[in-house]
């Protein structure tokens, strides 16, 4: 078999020029090749036209030369004939003249000879015999000569021109031809003056012959010449005397080069000389007409061919442009097709694969060559799905397609499987007929994986939200719709928005913006970008929901919902247990405070006993004294009354002490009232002094005048003061200070802390001061340095002070580097914020 490649190759043994030509042709771009292929025929046509034109030109020149030659020959011939004729006539007339000169001819004879000549030779019109005195001796004229031209015998020669020729002939003694002005009838005349001489050889007149030039033309010029040409006789000034001429050509043939000058020839007629010129002009020949006709035909055909070629060329160029556009479009589509991630497969009506794109091959791992032309079952069908896919293909081929596409499994060449989604659409050809089916295939493994991940993350998300021990709900503003609710919300409020709205309303802040269009004017959120809105307005509130019997902490914030709507999210946490705990803690604290007071009193029991001992001893003494005095009857009524009054006062004092202690330790509900600071201080001092006195500690106190009333629970503040004063006394006792340094000072003054008016209570002692490690743990519950101490005093004091929005602090007092004592102080704001006091109603913890 022949190698198909080499069969198409050009023969290597081709001649060098062919080889060169092919190489050159091959090196041209296709565009240039097209241009050459188009221009060559036009050039050929133009060359052909040029060759035709030059051939015509050459032939025409040749022909013109020949014609010219013929004209010249004919004119020469005619001239010869005319000349011969004229010479013949001249000969005859000279013979007559000779005869006259020799006196062998008389007038009558002359006339008859002339008459015979005129009759025989029609060109000879008239002959006259003129003597030396210019008298006409005899004459004869043809009958056709007009009367005005007759020269009757006996007349005198007239006419300036004829006379001057006469003179010339006389002087020259030779025959002279002349041409007078045209006669009256317009026909030209030729005169011949032949001089006569007498016996002595003297001039004796002339014989004047007159020729009709017209007749000369008519009779002397051969008929074949005058038939072929326009023959004319011209005078010395090139005026036509006889004959005719060809009118100058007009029209398109004038454009032709050879038509520019007419083919003519002229030559002077001897013996007349330059005065008479014979001219022949060739008539237009039929050859010229045919030639130019042919020329125009060829020209028109060439032009038409060229025009058609150009038209064809332009048409081809348009085709080329369309083709280029098509190629560009095809390339573009191919590039698009190749860059596309969707696999494309075309089937013909029998289910044979006619086309697959790069993506399809890449997805399946089969090459285009392996797939195109295959009939079902296709190699990328998983074996186990074969029957099902066969049935589906059958459906596809019968047009039973599914609009949304369908999912199938596809086997790669390496045997692995992937999920794909197929979409089917009919393939329609240019004639509108269906030629097959186009299938697009998308690998949906990744989307499937993402979807699974998404649903898994959604599941995690909902699991977390559902498991949350807070209720989460989201509702758009101004709508009853519930966008999201977790399990706890549904448990508490069901699937309605009512719960959400109730929580929002009860929480009070943030107020719900009105999105009602009619209320736009009063919408407090108008013009606020949702970003700011969602960033701001996140607040907490604690509300009680009676339907649930629960305390809820409600936090709400605005957010942009997934659909772009502004929504409000409410997170509610059940804080009922915390509330209970807080309430219990408050009750506990209260109990702790009162037990602390009891403890204080217990600790002060011996002091109190000692304190009570004095009045009781006094009463006892008074009573004993009275009894003995009454027994002795030594008493008068006046003394008795005085003693009884003293006794009663002592009893009153004892009662007062007990009353004070009772009111201090009495367990009462927390009760804040506007209390007078001085009263409060004096009562505390009264109690503390019992202890201080026992320990031999002096107490001095200073209360600034005109202090405003404080909104406090007086018993609690008293408790704090008693506690601080007792600690101070204990510290002094512990430091074993000498009597002179056993003093405690209590000062109550108004102050300004951070621009806030407060009342400061300070207790300054001269005790041992606070060691650094004690300072650190001062307020810890049950921290004490005393063997009998409880360590809850200061802890309670701080709680009480802070529950009144006050602060407490302790510092050492130095004397040089020695600690000279310490100073405990606390302040309570002046009726600062009654509502704040109200809110913090139970925040005390032990």
Contact residues for ligand ADP, defined by CB under 6 A? 727-728, 731, 765, 767-770, 774, 778, 783-786, 789-791, 793-794, 822
Angle of CA points 242, 243, 246, to nearest 5° = 135
| 678 Cβ neighbours under 8 A, 6+ residues apart | 703, 707
Closest distance of CB 466 from ligand ADP, Å: 49
End-to-end CA distance of the chain: 112
Nearer to ligand ADP, 100 or 764 (CB): 764
Q: Which is nearer to ligand ADP, 472 or 774 (CB)?
A: 774
Report how far residue 640's alpha carbon sits from residue 728's, in angstroms, rounded to the nearest whole number: 44
| Closest to 844 measured CA to CA, from 592, 597, 586, 593 | 586
Q: How would you label 99-121 residue by residue, b for 16+ Cβ within 10 Å and e otherwise?
A: bbbeeebeeeebbebbeebbeeb
Q: How far is the CB of 721 from ligand ADP (least distance, A)?
A: 13
Buried b (16+ CB within 10 A) or exposed e, 395-423: ebbeeebeeebeebebbeeeeeebbbbbb
Residue found under tokens 């390339």:
331
Q: Which is nearer to ligand ADP, 205 or 769 (CB)?
A: 769
Distance of alpha carbon 148 from alpha carbon 646, whole angstroms: 214
**Min dist. Cβ of residue 747 to ligand ADP (A):** 15
Q: Which is nearer to ligand ADP, 442 or 799 (CB)?
A: 799
d(CA 139, CA 115): 9
C-beta of 281 vs 723, nearer to ligand ADP: 723
CB of 604 to ligand ADP, least distance (A): 12
Residue 533 CB, shortest distance to ligand ADP, in Å, is 51
Contact at 8 Å (CB) between 587 and 523?
Answer: no
Return d(Cα 50, Cα 39) in angstroms, integer. Answer: 16
Element holding 483 (H helix, E strand): none
CB of 598 to ligand ADP, least distance (A): 14
Looking at beta carbons only, is 574 or 765 nearer to ligand ADP?
765
Whole-angstrom CA distances from 54 to 287, 294, 304, 645 are 17, 13, 19, 176
Q: Which is nearer to ligand ADP, 26 or 772 (CB)?
A: 772
For residues 504 and 794, which CB has a smaller minimum distance to ligand ADP in the complex? 794
- CA dihedral defined by 10, 12, 14, 16, rounded to 10 degrees? 110
Residue closer to ligand ADP, measured from CB, 418 or 779:
779
* CA dist., res. 195 & res. 169, Å (int): 6
Question: Least CB distance from residue 781 to ligand ADP, whole Å?
Answer: 8
172, with CB counted inside 10 A (0-12, 13-18, 19+), is exposed
670 vs 791, beta carbon nearer ligand ADP: 791
The tokens for 110 are: 């002359």
Cα–Cα nearest to 197, from 138, 134, 132: 132
Compute the distance between CA of residue 381 and CA of residue 362 in angstroms, rounded to an integer. 15
Looking at the Cβ atoms of 618 and 778, the one nearer to ligand ADP is: 778
Q: Measured from the CB of residue 716, what is the shortest distance to ligand ADP in angstroms?
A: 16
Specify the residue, 357 or 727, whose C-beta has the smaller distance to ligand ADP.
Answer: 727
Q: CB 700 → ligand ADP: shortest distance, Å? A: 16
Residue 379 DSSP SS3: coil
Helix (H) or strand (E) holding 835: helix 834-839
Cβ-based neighbours of 392, under 8 Å, separated by 6 or more: 406, 408
CA–CA distances in Å: residue 258 to residues 231, 420, 478: 21, 87, 106
Closest contact distance (angstroms) between CB of 673 and ligand ADP is 27
Q: Which helix (H) or strand (E) holds 738?
A: none
Minimum distance, C-beta of residue 819 to ligand ADP, in the bound complex (Å): 9
Least distance from ligand ADP to the Cβ atom of residue 779, Å: 8
Q: How far is the CB of 805 from ligand ADP (least distance, A)?
A: 22
CA atoms within 13 A on the CB side of 375: 3
Name residue, tokens 């008479």: 276
Q: Which is nearer to ligand ADP, 419 or 745 (CB)?
A: 745
Closer Cβ to ligand ADP, 663 or 825, answer by number: 825
CB of 753 to ligand ADP, least distance (A): 22
Rounded Cα distance, 363 and 442, in Å = 9
Pick 79 or 762: Cβ nearer ligand ADP: 762
Sheet (strand 136-141) strand order: 136-141, 124-130, 203-212, 189-197, 176-178
Distances (CA, A) of 34 to 52, 114, 291: 28, 90, 37
Cβ-Cβ contacts under 8 Å for 88 (sequence gap 6 or more): none
Q: Name the minimum Å distance from CB 572 to ligand ADP.
A: 41
């Amino acid at each position: 078999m022949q190698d198909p490649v080499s069969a198409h190759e050009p023969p290597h043994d081709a001649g060098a020029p062919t080889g060169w030509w092919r190489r050159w042709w091959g090196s041209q771009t296709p565009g240039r090749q097209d241009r050459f292929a188009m221009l060559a025929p036009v050039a050929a046509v133009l060359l052909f036209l040029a060759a035709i034109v030059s051939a015509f030109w050459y032939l025409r020149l040749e022909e013109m030369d020949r014609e010219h030659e013929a004209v010249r020959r004919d004119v020469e011939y005619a001239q010869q004939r005319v000349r011969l004729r004229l010479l013949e006539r001249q000969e005859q007339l000279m013979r007559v003249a000779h005869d006259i000169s020799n006196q062998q001819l008389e007038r009558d004879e002359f006339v008859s000879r002339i008459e015979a000549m005129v009759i025989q030779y029609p060109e000879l019109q008239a002959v006259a015999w003129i003597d030396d005195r210019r008298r006409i001796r005899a004459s004869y004229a043809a009958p056709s000569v007009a009367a005005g031209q007759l020269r009757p015998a006996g007349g005198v020669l007239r006419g300036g021109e004829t006379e001057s020729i006469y003179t010339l002939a006389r002087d020259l003694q030779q025959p002279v031809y002349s041409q007078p002005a045209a006669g009256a009838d317009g026909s030209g005349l030729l005169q011949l003056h032949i001089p006569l001489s007498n016996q002595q050889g003297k001039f004796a007149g002339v014989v004047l012959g007159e020729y009709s030039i017209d007749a000369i033309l008519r009779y002397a010029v051969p008929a074949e010449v005058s038939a072929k040409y326009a023959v004319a006789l011209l005078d010395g000034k090139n005026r036509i005397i006889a004959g005719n001429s060809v009118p100058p050509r007009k029209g398109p043939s004038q454009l032709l080069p050879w038509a520019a000058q007419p083919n003519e020839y002229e030559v002077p007629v001897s013996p007349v000389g330059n005065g008479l010129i014979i001219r022949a002009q060739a008539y237009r020949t039929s050859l010229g007409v045919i030639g130019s006709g042919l020329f125009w035909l060829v020209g028109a055909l060439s032009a038409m061919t060229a025009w058609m070629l150009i038209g064809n060329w332009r048409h081809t160029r348009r085709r080329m442009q369309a083709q280029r556009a098509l190629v560009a479009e095809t390339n573009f589509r191919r590039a698009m097709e190749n860059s596309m991630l969707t696999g494309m497969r075309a089937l013909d009506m029998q289910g044979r694969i006619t086309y697959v794109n790069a993506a399809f091959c890449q997805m399946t791992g089969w090459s285009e060559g392996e797939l195109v032309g295959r009939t079902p079952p296709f190699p990328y069908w998983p074996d186990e799905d074969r029957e099902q896919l066969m049935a589906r293909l059958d459906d596809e081929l019968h047009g039973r397609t599914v609009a949304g596409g369908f999912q199938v499994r596809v086997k790669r060449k390496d045997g692995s499987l992937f999920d794909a989604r197929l979409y089917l659409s009919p393939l329609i050809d240019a004639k509108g007929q269906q030629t097959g089916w186009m299938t697009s295939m998308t690998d949906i493994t990744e989307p499937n994986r993402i979807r699974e991940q998404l649903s898994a993350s959604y599941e995690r998300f909902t699991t977390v939200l559902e498991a949350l021990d807070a209720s989460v709900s989201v509702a758009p503003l101004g709508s009853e719709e519930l966008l999201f609710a977790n399990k706890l919300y549904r448990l508490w409020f069901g699937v309605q928005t009512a719960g959400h709205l109730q929580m929002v309303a009860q929480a009070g802040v943030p107020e719900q913006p009105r999105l009602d269009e009619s209320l736009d004017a009063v919408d407090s959120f108008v013009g606020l970008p949702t970003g700011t809105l969602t960033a701001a307005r996140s607040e907490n509130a604690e509300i009680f929901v009676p339907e649930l019997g629960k305390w809820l902490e409600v936090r709400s914030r605005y957010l942009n919902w997934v659909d772009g709507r502004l929504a409000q999210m409410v997170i509610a946490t059940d804080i009922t247990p915390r509330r209970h705990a807080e309430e219990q803690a408050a009750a506990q604290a209260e109990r702790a405070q009162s037990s602390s007071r009891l403890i204080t009193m217990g600790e002060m029991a011996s002091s109190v006993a000692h304190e009570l001992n004095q009045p009781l001893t006094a009463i006892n003494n008074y009573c004993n004294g009275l009894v003995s005095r009454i027994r002795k009857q030594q008493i008068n009524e006046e003394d008795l009354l005085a003693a009884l009054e003293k006794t009663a006062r002592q009893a009153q004092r004892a009662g007062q002490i007990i009353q004070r202690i009772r009111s201090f330790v009495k367990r009462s509900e927390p009760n804040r009232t506007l209390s007078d600071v001085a009263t409060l201080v004096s009562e505390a001092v009264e109690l503390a002094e019992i202890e201080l006195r026992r320990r031999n500690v002096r107490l001095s106190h200073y209360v600034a005048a005109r202090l405003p009333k404080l909104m406090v629970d007086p018993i609690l503040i008293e408790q704090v003061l008693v506690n601080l004063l007792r600690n101070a006394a204990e510290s002094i006792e512990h430091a074993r200070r000498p009597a002179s340094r056993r003093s405690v000072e209590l000062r109550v003054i108004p102050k300004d802390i951070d621009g806030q008016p407060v009342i400061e209570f300070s207790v300054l002692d001269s005790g041992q001061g606070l060691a650094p490690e004690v300072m650190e743990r001062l307020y810890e519950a049950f921290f004490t340095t005393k063997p009998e101490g409880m360590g809850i005093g200061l802890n309670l004091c701080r709680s009480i002070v802070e529950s009144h929005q006050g602060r407490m602090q302790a510092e050492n007092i130095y004397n040089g580097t020695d600690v000279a004592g310490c100073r405990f102080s606390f302040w309570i704001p002046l009726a600062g914020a009654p509502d704040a006091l109200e809110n913090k109603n139970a925040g005390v913890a032990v």
